[in-house]
Amino acid sequence: MMNHWLVLWIAAAIFAGCAGSSRFVVPEPPPDDQKVVPVPHSREINLAADNVSKIGTMQIKNLFDISRHGRAIFNKPKEAMNVDAFDEVYNSSWFTNRNGLAQMNIADFSRGPDQSSGPDTGNVWTIVAAKTQGVTPGFNIRDSRDQQYVIKFDPAGYPELATGAEVVSTKLFHAAGFNVPENYLVKFDPAILRIGNEVKFTDKQGQKRFMNEDDLAKILAKIQKLPNGRIRAVASKYLPGKPMGAFFYTGIRKDDLNDVIPHQHRRELRGLRWIAGWLNHFDTKANNSLDMYDPAGYVKHYLIDFGSTLGSQGNEPMPPEIGREGIVDPPQVAKVIGTLGIYKRPWERDIEIKYPSIGYFVSADFRPEKYKYIMPNPAFGNATNRDSYWGAKIVMSFTDEQIRSAVAQGQYSNPEAAEYLARIIIERRDIVGKYWFDRMAPLDRFALQQNSDGAQMLHFDDLAIDTRLADATNTRYQITVERDAEIVAAAKDIGNRTAFSLADLRETAANFPDSQWAIIIELTRSEKNWPQPVTVFLKWDNSQNTFHLIGLQR
């Protein structure tokens, strides 16, 4: 049976969504999803069934979803269910606001999720599990401090490729706000490896048995070594708590009593579309996520495995078709068949890999709105303009210095390769930002301040100008003021000033203590008008003789 607080929250959300435009309704916060709950059942993902569902079942369901088509026709999409009055995401078991709301300093940014210096490479590593399937082998170890790690390697012939991508992307996804593992770059002497008791092992013949020294020698023979004989790897620390299996990008986990918002309607999962595309994280399937029953008594949701991001596909450089074609792409297949193979896809003419440690990662033809993930993602498919602007805003929050700091954590031996990677990440960042800042007025960070004469000023930032995607000299703002949906101050051009005085409104505000004030800001830049203004809502407080910000609408 549904809890009473959940019923009340859903009712409030529906009321807010149905309320007329004349009055802004402050949304109720979603239920706390970090309450102590019973341990859910651990589950395994049937990857084949999940893929069939995304390619077939989900597409057919959407095709016959009349309400979905109706919302599209009337431009009334279903908005995310976990945003606050200022269209931001609440901190939760899924997401923590970091760089997007307040710029992280370089020390915190570079540290990322790391809580230590990583595994002890000066003492014995005991192998507790081995991975023999796939192109790149690996194993799990316990170090001298009794901490366990998954050890991942670079593919043969491509030193630094997967390990660098894993560490760099970990720093960026963490700063964006997502839960990620502690991934440490290590260089260790293989002589410290010892096989633990009864380590399960599957050989080439598919026979399951216990691992022996010969098995370890064969694994190490496949791994590229540094000139000094040491091995470069990523040590991914075991996540705290009990593994519960992956999460899906749709529906809820029914045995997690805190999980009440359908995943396809979570803002952070919808907005992830633009963050993942920026970093070429094409494989945003369930199997690259993990739910953990946290020691604090609730389920915490993680993104994992970033070795197939940027220019790395984990076991090789990223194939150039990644991001340009899905695993099933009928339009592209039709073009090839229709021209009897004469048609060449754009990516087939551009496959240069300049730096083996970076792989294939370019910005020249990057089109974030056309970026194709390996599988349809239901959260991405439900992303609205507001969700997408939010995701792009996070992408644009990363400074050049922060990006170069993240790349430095990859410890690339070739400085030119490191600079190339940083430059491409920066260029792709700006492409994402320009796309959405040209479609949604990027006015943000609204705040009320008093000037020297005591008058209140409404201040805001133009993110396109702040990030050098637009020029202030070509920008103008027009302000209209409404009180309870009635215009009380006609449109006024304030030039390119990002501040508006409320002094004139204060003279009459005390006479309307129950009224709501709307400051409607329209943006014009180089003769381009944004179709939707940003409206900021205020409430007058007689007891303090001041206005308060209560929310905004995009």
Question: Which domains occur in the chain, in start order?
Answer: 32-439 (no CATH), 443-553 (2.60.40.10)
Type of residue numbered 53: S
* pLDDT of 1: 43
Give the residue ranges of the chain where pLDDT is below 50.
Answer: 1-2, 5, 7-8, 14-21
CB 76 within 8 A of CB 153: no
Alpha carbon 240 to its chain's center: 21
* pLDDT of 531: 78
515, two tokens:
């009224």
Q: CB within 8 A of 163, min separation 6: which ones?
A: 152, 153, 154, 185, 232, 233, 234, 307, 410
* Rounded Cα gap, residues 224 and 236, in angstroms: 19
Nearest partner of 236 among 326, 159, 139, judged by Cα: 139
CB 135 within 8 A of CB 207: no
* pLDDT of 5: 47
* pLDDT of 202: 87
* Rounded Cα gap, residues 303 and 64, in angstroms: 31
* pLDDT of 64: 64
* pLDDT of 416: 98
* pLDDT of 543: 87
**How many Cβ atoms are within 10 Å of 97's Cβ, its own excluded?**
16
Nearest partner of 431 among 469, 480, 475, judged by Cα: 469
Beta-sheet strand order (sheet of 183-188): 183-188, 231-237, 148-153, 138-142, 125-131, 193-195
Please state the pTM of the whole predicted model.
0.90
Q: CB within 8 A of 277, min separation 6: which ones?
A: 323, 368, 371, 432
71 CB burial (10 A radius; 0-12, 13-18, 19+):
middle
107 CB burial (10 A radius; 0-12, 13-18, 19+):
exposed
